[in-house]
């Protein structure tokens, strides 16, 4: 049944955290290694689950399994929580009979995702905190402090410098129209999200921008090299065909450029080209990875090699985040310093004029 916007919003807001999903797959792997059935495994997991939303979710999956649905089909009903690659890997694992190994690897992969998310949050928390403090300080100075100080200068009947007059106009504008400014900022944020999800040309523009801006491009490329290597390795190990694997990757990848490349590569494979030929000469892919695929594609070792490359790109991804953060922080500081400098100048210049006038008396 198709869900409306409010249903999706409620589900997204009530979605259990990533740590709960990690624990779910970890316990499922343990239960499968203990040779428990899928339904019995879920019942056992739910008995120790403390998150109410997750308990309800697992109960729903148990009910679906009772009616002879597969685990993948039961997970499909909760696609707002389980990703498409997780569902397809579980579906393949049920066919090949290696459920314990697949869900164990899923839990490890989700743990790495958790580490990456924590690293990104930590990297962004400092500049965001500094920016927020700076914005609050600037607003307070403009709205409350600056008008009071400038009033003293006006009493000397001296003409205020141009920069001071400009900042006073900015101060007056904020005091009179702060609600309009706030509404505009909220509208821009909402418009961006809607435009990105609904307007394909806007999405193409933003996604292409991500692969063109130097520092951001390094982070984006390492991220997709890691996801491509890791997921393709998992799909191959679960005996998913290369064509189906690339189609799944196209559904998983959010960036339009990588999504299109996966669909193009899928078409090439259907036309009997090799994966190396499908990916060669693409600036989206690391030449080292493409050459490794060329060497190992004809052997049974490509799966393990892709897994090793995924670990390599995971480490490089963490390093690129550190590099990007080290470059972003000075930019934030320069912007903040520039704004503060303008405010200080708008206050200091009339103060200097007043002191000069006092000395001339």
Global pTM?
A: 0.72
Which domains, from first to last, does the chain contain?
5-113 (1.20.81.30), 124-361 (no CATH)
CA–centroid distance for 172 within its chain: 38
Q: In Å, how far are 30, 91, 182 from 55, measured between CA atoms?
A: 18, 22, 39
**Rounded Cα distance, 130 and 179, in Å:** 23
DSSP labels for 38-87? HHHHHHHHHHT---HHHHHHHHHHHHHHHTT--HHHHHHTTTTTS-HHHH
**Rounded Cα distance, 141 and 229, in Å:** 51
Is the Cα torsion angle 195, 198, 200, 203 positive or negative in sign? positive
Could you report how far apart the first and last alpha carbons of the chain are, in Å? Answer: 84
Per-residue pLDDT of the chain (361 residues; tens, 9 = 90+): 445 556 666 666 678 888 888 889 889 988 888 888 889 999 999 888 888 889 999 999 999 999 888 898 999 888 888 888 788 888 888 877 788 888 888 888 888 877 777 777 776 677 777 777 777 777 777 777 666 766 666 555 556 677 777 777 777 777 777 788 788 878 888 888 888 888 889 899 998 988 888 878 888 899 899 989 988 888 888 788 889 889 888 888 889 999 999 999 999 999 999 999 999 888 899 999 999 888 887 776 788 888 889 889 988 887 887 787 777 777 777 877 787 777 777 777 776 666 666 566 5
């Amino acid at each position: 049944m198709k869900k409306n916007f409010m249903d999706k919003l409620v589900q997204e807001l009530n979605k259990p955290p990533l740590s709960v999903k990690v624990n779910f797959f970890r316990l499922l792997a343990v239960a499968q290694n203990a040779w428990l059935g899928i339904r019995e495994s879920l019942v056992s997991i739910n008995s120790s689950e403390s998150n109410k939303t997750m308990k309800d979710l697992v109960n729903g999956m148990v009910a679906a399994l009772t009616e002879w649905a597969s685990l993948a089909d039961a997970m499909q009903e909760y696609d707002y929580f389980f990703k498409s690659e997780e569902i397809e890997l579980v579906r393949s694992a049920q066919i090949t009979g290696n459920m314990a190994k697949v869900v164990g690897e899923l839990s490890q992969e989700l743990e790495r995702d958790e580490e990456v998310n924590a690293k990104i949050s930590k990297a962004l928390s400092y500049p965001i905190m500094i920016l927020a403090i700076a914005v609050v300080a600037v607003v307070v100075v403009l709205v409350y402090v600056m008008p009071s100080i400038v009033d003293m200068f006006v009493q000397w009947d001296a003409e205020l410098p141009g920069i001071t007059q400009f900042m006073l106009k900015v101060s007056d504008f904020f005091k009179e129209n702060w609600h309009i400014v706030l509404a505009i900022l909220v509208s821009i944020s909402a418009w961006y999200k809607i435009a990105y999800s609904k307007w394909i040309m806007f999405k193409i523009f933003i996604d292409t921008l991500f692969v063109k801006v130097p520092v951001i491009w390094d982070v984006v490329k390492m991220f997709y090299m890691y996801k491509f290597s890791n997921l393709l390795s998992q799909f191959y190990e679960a005996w998913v065909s290369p064509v189906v694997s690339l189609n799944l990757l196209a559904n998983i990848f959010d960036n339009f450029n990588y999504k299109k490349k996966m669909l193009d590569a899928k078409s090439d494979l259907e036309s009997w080209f090799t994966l190396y030929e499908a990916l060669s000469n693409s600036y989206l892919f690391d030449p080292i990875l493409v050459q490794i695929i060329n060497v190992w594609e004809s052997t049974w070792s490509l799966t393990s090699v892709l897994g090793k490359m995924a670990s390599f790109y995971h480490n490089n991804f963490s390093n690129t985040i550190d590099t990007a953060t080290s470059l972003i922080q000075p930019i934030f500081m320069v912007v903040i310093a520039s704004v503060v400098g303008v405010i200080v100048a708008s206050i200091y210049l009339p103060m200097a004029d007043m002191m000069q006038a006092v000395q001339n008396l």
